[in-house]
Amino acid sequence: MAALPAHKVVSEDLFTGAQPSVEELDQWKDRVKTIVNLRPEGEEGFDKDEQKNVESRGLHYVHIPVKSPVDIKGELADDIASKLKDVPKPVFIHCKVGGRATTAALFADAINNNKSADDVYKKQEALGFKLPNPEMEAQVKQNVADRFSK
């Protein structure tokens, strides 16, 4: 499947980006099967009607609240990977602007496909994916090393 406009393609059935608009959901309803929302309730701009909007278009909806990309490790990373393994595909994962979503997708793809830390770093580089500050980038890199380096 071709990439959705202005979004990251982590694998052939895993896309990430910012929270989609209702118009984007209408455009994508024949291109994705599941929308995963990583935004916690109460976050500025959280769409309380998103589940209804997604499901009314015949799509599957999953909500996994994540506050920061640095929180994606350990049990949370395993939970995200497990949930993504069992949903209808293709999947679009979103947060507010895409940082948490792409981090979560990279972890889930690596966990579900037995990839290494090096595979994650190479995919991150190929996507041109960077987090907004060096401290966050370093922590996520450490989380990847801790989880996938054997």
Mean pLDDT, all residues of the chain: 91
Regarding pTM above 0.85, the answer is yes
Q: How far apart are CA 21 and CA 27, in angstroms?
A: 10
What pLDDT score was predicted for residue 61?
98
**Per-residue pLDDT band at 1 (split at 50, 70, 90):** very low
Mean pLDDT (whole number) for 64-93:
95
